[in-house]
Amino acid sequence: MAQVINTNSLSLLTQNNLNKSQSALGTAIERLSSGLRINSAKDDAAGQAIANRFTANIKGLTQASRNANDGISIAQTTEGALNEINNNLQRVRELAVQSANSTNSQSDLDSIQAEITQRLNEIDRVSGQTQFNGVKVLAQDNTLTIQVGANDGETIDIDLKQINSQTLGLDSLNVQKAYDVKDTAVTTKAYANNGTTLDVSGLDDTAIKAAIGGTTGTAAVTGSAVKFDADNNKYFVTIGGFTGADAAKNGDYEVNVATDGTVTLAAGATKTTMPAGATTKTEVQELKDTPAVVSADAKNALIAGGVDATDANGAELVKMSYTDKNGKTIEGGYALKAGDKYYAADYDEATGAIKAKTTSYTAADGTTKTAANQLGGVDGKTEVVTIDGK
């Protein structure tokens, strides 16, 4: 059977034109809504590629502009800090010129130096704390690279330098006339050997029995040892050797010591109890001025505070005094002299306790450390500490 395809060419043409019209309308609406002539590669493949390149450049330049503004901001922050540092430097110079006048007394120079020190401390504070978005701009040498273009290599370097009293060469600025520093060794009264040997050879059996009686056994000083009680300035011996009915005479006795060291037992001496603090001596004891004993704790505190171990172990307690340019002497406190340096210390005259002064601080690595307080500074009597080498 024959097949027949009926076509309506007019309808098909109308439908085709309608589809084209709808497609064109969709494209027009898309362009109107986006504001772009090319919304996809099908609109214009070559144009899309060019547009993408332009878009990348525009976005890159926009961000580069923001980067440049950040660079300007960090430069302005640095400039503000430098202005503050400059103001302090101008004041320091003014004070230095003022101090050069011979009409200033020592007190005047002390006051001028005090302000200079505060100004320099302020410079260090500004240097250490000025930052932009967490970046410290004057605390250390640093180079910041600012990306100011949309392409690689389009950068500007900002060379930042550490600026503080040390880098400016002012950390040791001193307009004062340094004090004449003197120290006097601190001594205490204590019994010590006087060089004369104690002689107990005379305390034989005959001498002992003649002094305290007894007949049985052979009396003698036990171990030939003489002990000394510094609290009461008395000498003692322990006698043994009595037997039988006289055994009760064995024990501790106070003895006399002559200037030549001869040890004798007084007639009629009675047994006693030797003080617990009595110690064995081989020489006659004499009350002398002896250097104050620096405890192991004080020495260890110096070592922990950065003092050389050899110097710290040889430290001695001294009393400080300072004489100004007018000849006026100022009594200072106590110090531990270790090597050729002085370190501040507390001394209790009643108990003899010595404590080294130290300062605790947080190091750059976040750990807690201590530094010994050294006497020095610009006037020679200020307590200063060295932290992280500064």
Q: What is the pLDDT of residues 110-122, one digit of tens each?
A: 889 889 989 999 9
Alpha carbons 88 and 126: distance in angstroms, whole number: 10
| Residue 135 confidence (pLDDT) | 87
Helix intervals (H) in 100-162: 106-129
Residue type, 2: A
| Residue 37 confidence (pLDDT) | 59
| Secondary structure of 234-286 in HEC code, one letter for each residue | EEEEEEEEECHHHHHHCEEEEEEECCCCEEECCCCCCCECCCCCCEEECEEEE
Alpha carbons 379 and 390: distance in angstroms, whole number: 18
Alpha carbons 66 and 382: distance in angstroms, whole number: 50
pTM of the model: 0.48
Q: Which CATH superfamily is domain 180-186+292-384 in?
A: f41 fragment of flagellin, middle domain (2.170.280.10)
Judge whether 358 and 373 are in contact, CB under 8 Å: yes
Q: Start-end ranges of CATH 2.30.220.10 in the chain?
A: 191-289
Q: Start-end ranges of CATH 1.20.1330.10 in the chain?
A: 49-160
CATH number of the 49-160 domain: 1.20.1330.10
Topology adopted by domain 191-289: f41 fragment of flagellin, C-terminal domain (2.30.220)
Task: Spell out, as residue ranges, where the chain has pLDDT lower than 70.
Answer: 1-7, 26-27, 30-32, 34-44, 47-48, 177-178, 378-379, 388-390
| Residue 301 confidence (pLDDT) | 93
Residue whose C-alpha is closest to residue 219's, from 203, 200, 231, 232: 203
Backbone angles phi, psi at 78, to 5 degrees: -65, -40
Q: Start-end ranges of CATH 2.170.280.10 in the chain?
A: 180-186+292-384
